[in-house]
Structures are given as C-alpha cells and as structure tokens.
C-alpha cells in the first residue's frame, strides 16, 4: 500500500511527490530579477517553473512552486542560487537535471538536483549567503567582462574602504542600507565578513552575512566606493548606521557587478 504521496500511473510506474533541492547558475543580464511577476515574462523563477511544469505535464498534480534562497534584482547574476520545489514525477534526479538544461535558455544552468527532506525550504533554512561585487577601472574597456563588472571612472582608495568596512562588521540595524523605504519587518542583520581584494584593474568586494535586505549589497558597495573616492570618511559609517535613513548612505551600485556566490545551510 502506498502512502498518500504515492500513486500508480497508467503505465504502472510508481510516482511520489518529493521535495527537491536545486543549485542554479544564471546570467541575469536579460532578466527582470529572480522573482516571477504576472506582467513580466523574463524572470529567472518564471523560466525555471515553466520548464518544470512542462516536464511534469499531465502526470503532475498542480503547478510547480519553485522557492529561491533569495530574490536577486534585475541584471544581477548567480553562480550558486539554491532553490527547492515539490515535484510529482517518476524521473530520476539526473533525468530532471538533463531535461531542465535541455529546455532552459543558454544563460540559465541547473548544476545539481537532489532529493531532500520534506521540511527543507530554500529560503527559510538558509543560515548564510555570500555575494561578490566586481568593479573594474582603467584606460581601456573590459570587453569580455562587460556584463559582469561595474566600470569605475577612477581608482578608489582600497585601504580607506577596508577601514570603513570594519565598522560594518557585526550585528547592526542596516535600515540605512535598505532599498525598501516601506520595510516593516526588522532590518537588523549580521555581517560576518567584508573582504575587499584588488587584482590588477579589478576590485572585488565579498560580503558574507546571515541575510541581506533589498539592494543592501549594492548600497553597501556604493557607500564604500564613496569612502574610496574621499566623499565619505570611514568614521562616518557609524553615523550612517545609527541614522537608519537611506538618504544618509551612498548610491546604489549598478546591478551587473553583483553575483550571488553561495548559500549556506
């Protein structure tokens, strides 16, 4: 006797609703962000769900709801976005991955599919995330990286930015770094590390924390760049945090330099 999640198809194939974990990479250049929206066709979640719904077809029991670990903005990329969804299919993990990569556009890749616990939730179970923001400066142009870097008009002072970054580490109210002015939930987050690395004409910011607010990484980057340009002193970071006022922080950095690197569970 099968449990309530099992059934027999007309071909006598045993099926079961199971929860699956996906690791996904995507180039966000063409998309209006992760989150599916009724009036927008080009979203990452929308493309993935479309393929999964096509895969389960008539043998499925309802449309797929794919849950992402985060909601990246329009133009933002991901190397390892984690997502989860309950699927009703007899296909193996490898067959699901193969099907998805066959029918997804070339700028979205499913790197891993695994059956996971029924209780696993890609967003609620995440305990940490790593984002990278990449900048480039110089007299030429980063022709082959142009979709994945933000071009600066001059070189910022990396040492000054590192000094300012130290003041952002820890548990703080990051309301000044939140792009949603109507945010009603808590804006307190923990930033474990901010590493700023310079390699030739590239400057890369690595942020790791327990969670990030809307546009938070881009606003943090924009503010640190203002420190690097001498427009904000490193010591002012504490005042910006205490103000809990978006207008006190720096500009929101452009989306193309941002990439979600990893989600921790």
Angle at Cα 249 formed by Cα 243 and Cα 254, nearest 5°? 150
Residues contacting residue 59 through CB under 8 Å, at least 6 positions apart: 9, 15, 88, 89, 90
Q: Do the annotations mark residue 131 as ligand-binding?
A: yes
Q: Which of 2, 17, 113 is nearest to 60 (CA)?
A: 17
List 27, 39, 73, 139, catalytic entry: 73
Give catalytic status of residue 73 as yes or no.
yes
Tell the burial category of 207 from Cβ atoms under 10 Å away from its Cβ (0-12, 13-18, 19+).
buried
Do 148 and 259 touch, CB atoms closer than 8 A? yes
Rg (CA), the chain: 21
* Binding-site annotation: residue ranges for substrate: 131
Catalytic residues: 73
């Amino acid at each position: 006797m099968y449990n309530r999640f099992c059934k027999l198809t007309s071909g006598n194939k045993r099926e079961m609703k199971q929860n699956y974990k996906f690791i996904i990479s995507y180039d966000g250049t063409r998309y209006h962000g992760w989150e599916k929206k009724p009036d927008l066709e080009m979203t990452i979640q929308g493309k993935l769900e479309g393929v999964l719904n096509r895969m389960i077809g008539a043998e499925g029991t309802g449309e797929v709801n794919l849950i992402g670990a985060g909601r990246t903005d329009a133009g933002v990329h991901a190397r390892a976005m984690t997502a989860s969804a309950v699927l009703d299919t007899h296909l193996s993990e490898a067959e699901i991955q193969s099907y998805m990569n066959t029918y997804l556009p070339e700028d979205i890749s499913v790197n891993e599919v695994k059956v996971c616990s029924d209780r696993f939730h890609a967003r609620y179970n995440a305990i940490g995330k790593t984002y990278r923001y990449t900048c480039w400066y110089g007299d030429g142009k980063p022709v082959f990286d142009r979709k994945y870097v933000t071009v600066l008009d001059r070189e910022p002072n990396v040492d000054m930015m590192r000094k300012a970054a130290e003041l952002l580490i820890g548990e703080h109210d990051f309301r000044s770094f939140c792009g949603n002015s109507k945010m009603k939930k808590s804006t307190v987050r923990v930033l474990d590390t901010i590493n700023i690395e310079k390699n030739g004409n590239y400057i890369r910011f690595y942020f790791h924390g327990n969670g990030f607010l809307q546009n938070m990484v881009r606003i943090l980057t924009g503010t640190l760049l203002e420190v690097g340009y001498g427009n904000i002193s490193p010591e002012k970071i504490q005042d910006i945090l205490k103000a809990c006022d978006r207008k006190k922080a720096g500009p929101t950095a452009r989306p193309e330099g941002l990439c979600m690197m990893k989600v921790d569970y």
